[in-house]
Amino acid sequence: MEIQFTPWRMKYIKSHNAPPSEACVLCTIAQADPANDPQHYLLHRGQHCYVVLNIYPYNTAHLMIVPYRHTADLPGLDAASATELFDLTRRSLGYVNAEYQPHGSNLGMNLGKVAGAGIAEHLHMHIVPRWGGDMNFLPVIGGVKLIPEDLDETYQRLRPYFEQG
């Protein structure tokens, strides 16, 4: 499916240098200076995992919960990371529900390229809020999806929840 972005997207492209193709973008975000978290749309740093907006969202407030550890191996993930991964998923969903009142949500992981993972080498949990009619005629007819809210606004709306815990 083609995703058609609104003009703020160009601002993003111009202000961010793409990481080298061999670099893992999820590790790059984790290892960046926390002072730059807002420009990476990083919402929260836990002990073992962090929460970040997906910059190629399927829908408004599409979050990802990511272990700091670079691994694709969910069965091999240490218990502390796995526990915090799910706890941050639970908390993040609560914040999204409070701020956006979605009608439902998709949660999940795409493990492996064949399963649809965009960044297969570093596992991550997706939270995709859903509203009735959000997959309406545009994707069906045009193969185009519109994201109604820009990432900066989503970030500003959700960051206070994480700061207040």
Binding residues for Zn ion, rule: CB under 5 A, are 24, 26-27, 70, 122
Q: Are residues 48 and 68 in contact, defined by beta-carbon separation less than 8 angstroms?
A: yes
Tokens representing residue 161 in the block: 């929840």
**Closer Cβ to Zn ion, 39 or 71, answer by number:** 71
Amino acid at residue number 42: L
Place of tokens 């009735």: 132
User: Mutual orientation of helices 79-100 and 151-164 as an angle, nearest 10°?
Assistant: 110
Minimum Å gap between C-beta 72 and Zn ion is 9
For residue 124, indicate whether it is catalytic. Answer: yes
Tokens representing residue 3 in the block: 């995703």
Minimum Å gap between C-beta 24 and Zn ion is 3
CA dist 129 → 18, 43, 137 (Å)? 27, 17, 18
Catalytic residue from among 48, 62, 122, 124? 124
Minimum Å gap between C-beta 66 and Zn ion is 8
**Closer Cβ to Zn ion, 71 or 157, answer by number:** 71
**Closer Cβ to Zn ion, 64 or 147, answer by number:** 64
Instruction: Show which residues are catalytic.
Output: 124
